[in-house]
Amino acid sequence: MMFSRVMTNQTKTMVLLMLVFTAIILLFSGLVYFSIVNFSHQRFYELLKIRTTTIIQIEKGKDDLDLPENYILNGLNDEELPMERDYVFAIPADSNFQKISGEIHIPSYFFKNIIKKGESNYNDQEFYYIGQTFRHDDKNYIAIASAKNHYVVYYLGFLKRTLVTCIVLSLFFSMIFSFYLSKTLFKPILKITGKVQEISSENLHLRLEPQPDNKELNELVDTFNGMLNRIETSFETQNHLIGNVSHELRTPLTSIMGEADVALSISRTNEEYKETLGIILNEAEKLDKKIKALLMIAQTGFNGKIQKVDKIRIDQLLWDVIETLRKIDFRNNIYLDISMLPDNPRKLKVQGNEQLLHLAVTNIIQNGCKYSDFQQVKVSLGATDTDVYIIVKDHGIGIPGKEMNKIYDPFFRASNTNNYEGYGIGLPLARNIVRIHQGELIVSSHENQGTTVQLRFPNFYNAHPEDKESI
């Protein structure tokens, strides 16, 4: 009982394989042995039948075959088979074979079967007998040929020893093969387990590597990597929020409290109170926007859940985003490049939440318009058999190279954005949304030259090959 509790799956698999191999080896060995035994019996009986037929022909060729009843005639001397004994005798008138049976030590029912069927066989494990009836000069006789089956006695004994030796060797090699096979089968799992044990909150960027030619394990790897993406996003968002929330919330709160404290310190005119309340209201609105931004980032960064999931056409989503941005500000100059659209429109479908994807794409394109001072922003759409791509390129102020590693920090704003309104939450929010859609966001930028943002989303039909639809 204790052994079964501590037995690993690898050991269980090896034992199971051993049991299966053992059962197969024993089954086929038994089939081989009993097939050869049966064949040897049948073959030996055929040889005895030939001898019996020969005896009958010899006896019929005699001029006079006057045999006393209940008396054994003779045995042939020309032994062609090992220890052959041949008999010819007349059938007793009363069909009583007790005397003959006692003299040649053959059971009486054997004789009765010969008379009843015309031919019968019998063996006593050592000697094999076959008998036939024949008629000569209006009298009925029985001819019996018998011999010792040396093939069964010696050769089948050799076969038995050979099979036992082969079984032992087969079990030995099957044990080695079972061990090797179980080790090979569990090697990828042990490798994955070792890699998982290396992953902690300090190195959530690590990912499991796909296993070649192993669809089932690769599905597990993809699922686990997807979970790691969500966890990494959650940890990064949490760390960034903790590091930035105190500063971002403290500034408007300090301003509000300072203005209120000054207003309450001495009596003031109505205009001064209105001015103070206006400042407090402005700071409160900033605080409200920042709190809403924090909640939005938290919702897309921590739980990784999408409330409503649909099949979305990315080209239709882009047209909606562009129309929305033009309504927000007529100065937004956006050019949609559709030269790379695929012939098959279903390659543009992805699985996701339309509202969240709309928000992410809107933030990225709006940033391009804003930080390029409303110069033309080029949005390109393309697709491969596996992925859908959106590329947003502007010719704006760009991002300083030394600050690129901070662009996903909530509330971080590049040093060259002081003249532009914003809170620094658009890009972190967009990346979180892209990640929970199993996508990828890549930013490349050069200061005073512009920024290029690439979004990649897995094609719906590549992620769900079983879900096919006609166009």
Calculate the average pLDDT of the chain.
Answer: 79
Answer for the pair 459, 386: CB distance below 8 angstroms, yes or no.
yes
- Span 51-70, pLDDT tens digits: 888 877 877 776 555 554 43
Average pLDDT, integer, range 94-119: 82
Q: From the centroid of its chain, how far is CA 214?
A: 6
Least confident of 133-137, 313-317, 358-362: 133-137
Which residues neighbour 164 within 8 Å (Cβ) at sequence distance 6 or greater?
A: none
pLDDT over 70, % of the chain: 81
Residue located via tokens 């990494």: 232
Q: Where are the domains of the chain?
A: 2-154, 199-305, 307-471
Q: Which residue has the higher pLDDT, 374 or 43?
A: 374
In this structure, is the dihedral angle defined by the CA atoms of residues 248, 254, 256 and 257, taken in order, positive or negative? positive
So what's the pLDDT on residue 282?
81
Position 158 pLDDT exceeds 50: yes
- DSSP type of residue 76: -
Q: Which residue has the higher pLDDT, 131 or 293?
A: 131
Q: Which residue has the higher pLDDT, 330 or 40?
A: 330
- Span 364-386, pLDDT tens digits: 999 999 999 999 999 999 999 89
So what's the pLDDT on residue 134?
86
So what's the pLDDT on residue 376?
94
Q: Which of 167, 169, 130, 125 is nearest to 37 (CA)?
A: 125
For 142, the token pair is 């029985």
Helix (H) or strand (E) segment spanning residue 225: helix 215-265
Q: Which CATH number fits domain 307-471: 3.10.580.10, 3.40.50.300, 3.30.565.10, 1.10.3720.10?
A: 3.30.565.10
pLDDT band of residue 191 (cuts 50, 70, 90) is confident
Q: Which residue has the higher pLDDT, 149 or 281?
A: 281
So what's the pLDDT on residue 65?
54
Position 398 pLDDT exceeds 90: yes
So what's the pLDDT on residue 290?
67
Strands 334-337 and 377-383, how do they pair?
parallel
292-301, 412-421, 437-446: which is most confident: 437-446
Distance between CA atoms of residues 156 and 135, nearest Å:
38
Residue 152, amino acid? V
So what's the pLDDT on residue 306?
47
- Span 74-99, pLDDT tens digits: 444 454 677 778 888 888 777 777 77
So what's the pLDDT on residue 471?
39
Cα distances from 226 to residues 221, 236, 277, 282, in angstroms, run 8, 15, 49, 41
- Torsion on CA atoms 117, 123, 127, 129, rounded to nearest 10: 0
Q: Which residue has the higher pLDDT, 395 or 13?
A: 395
Helix (H) or strand (E) segment spanning residue 245: helix 215-265
So what's the pLDDT on residue 418?
86
Neighbour count for residue 364 (Cβ, 10 Å): 27
So what's the pLDDT on residue 423?
73
pLDDT band of residue 201 (cuts 50, 70, 90) is low
Answer for the pair 442, 453: CB distance below 8 angstroms, yes or no.
yes
Least confident of 282-286, 292-296, 338-342: 292-296
pTM of the model: 0.49
So what's the pLDDT on residue 294?
63
